[in-house]
Amino acid sequence: MADTLKRLAGGTLTNVSATLYTVPSSTTTIIKEVVLCNKTAAAVTATIAFNSVNVVYGKSIAAYDSLVIPFTSIAHATNVITGLAGSSSAIDYYISGIEVV
């Protein structure tokens, strides 16, 4: 088995729920951290779900602030992480973890 520490996903949330990361086939992923950064002058909400289970729901992130969420969560092949923001193009996200093949 190969364990690879890596950036699982990164980008900008939209105001429509979208898939941010899908666990590859024959792989187990350990999600270690999710970082959400509000790059606007107003507070914006964010929601993140792991396989349809909300882990952050409607969390308000202050203007020009970041939310760092440490995790030790296991995801199996084909599981997905989804997310959305209260305002398009306001929240950047970065998800890191370990893929075990």
In this model, does residue 95 exceed pLDDT 90?
A: yes
Say which CATH topology domain 3-100 has: Jelly Rolls (2.60.120)
pLDDT of residue 1: 59
The domain ranges of the chain are 3-100
Q: Which residue has the higher pLDDT, 101 or 40?
A: 40
Closest CA to 53 of 70, 74, 32: 74
Using CA atoms, how far apart are residues 40 and 17, in angstroms rounded to an integer? 20
pLDDT digits (tens, 9 = 90+) for 11-66: 999 999 999 999 999 999 999 999 999 999 999 999 999 999 999 999 999 999 99
pLDDT of residue 2: 74
